[in-house]
Structure 1
Amino acid sequence: MKQTLVIGASLNPSRYSNLAIHRLVQNNIEVKAIGLREGVVTDITIVTDKINFKDIHTITLYLNAKRQVDYYDYIISLQPKRVIFNPGTENPELYKILDENKIHYEQACTLVLLGTNQY
């Protein structure tokens, strides 16, 4: 089970993070979500706090590099198996930190990975 944490989750149905939550759920992947506003997307509660979730396999980012800085320590503390940098979230500074902590990362689109059975 690739429990996934969506960071940058949005209640707005036109946002890619929102669509990703829907597609992850459709693919029977357990989802946790952090966003700027609390709410619910397809039975997944979006929280605003950095909760110490257990057994996170994948973190998929929907925050630009500047906004990711506040999450560096949090991401490392969760010790995910991988971090997905969706288009527009590329961040060489965080790549280096992940490398130092032996956390795999990839520049990819969660929606494409799901759509092509590569997730």
Structure 2
Amino acid sequence: MKSDLPGRSFEFARRVVLLCRGLDERPGVPRILANQLLRAGTSIGANIEEAQASQSKADFLSKYSIACKEARETLYWLRLLAATEVVPEHRLSDLLTECNELIAILTAIIRKLRSDDR
């Protein structure tokens, strides 16, 4: 069964870009937070994509571990945007849910790969 994770993470990144476009038009805090979110939110899929061409299991695990860290950072920025009311929480709920799901999937894959090594 082929994983839909590369496609899912790409779609997530696309949605992050669209959100950040609107925030980037606002000066000050919204723009700064948008830049942080943009870097982290698009890095998830980039690392998953890189892992698809990994040279070894260790390389694959490394890329997925980085993707998981970036997903956790993305979740932080999304939560901060909601908590500071820069973006209404209801506008972020789908992204928050998807980000949590990506974290869960990545964590499960990483744990499985690590347990296979034991």
TM-score (norm 1): 0.28
Larger radius of gyration: 2
TM-score, length of structure 2 as denominator length: 0.28
Which structure dedicates a bigger proportion of its chain to helix?
2
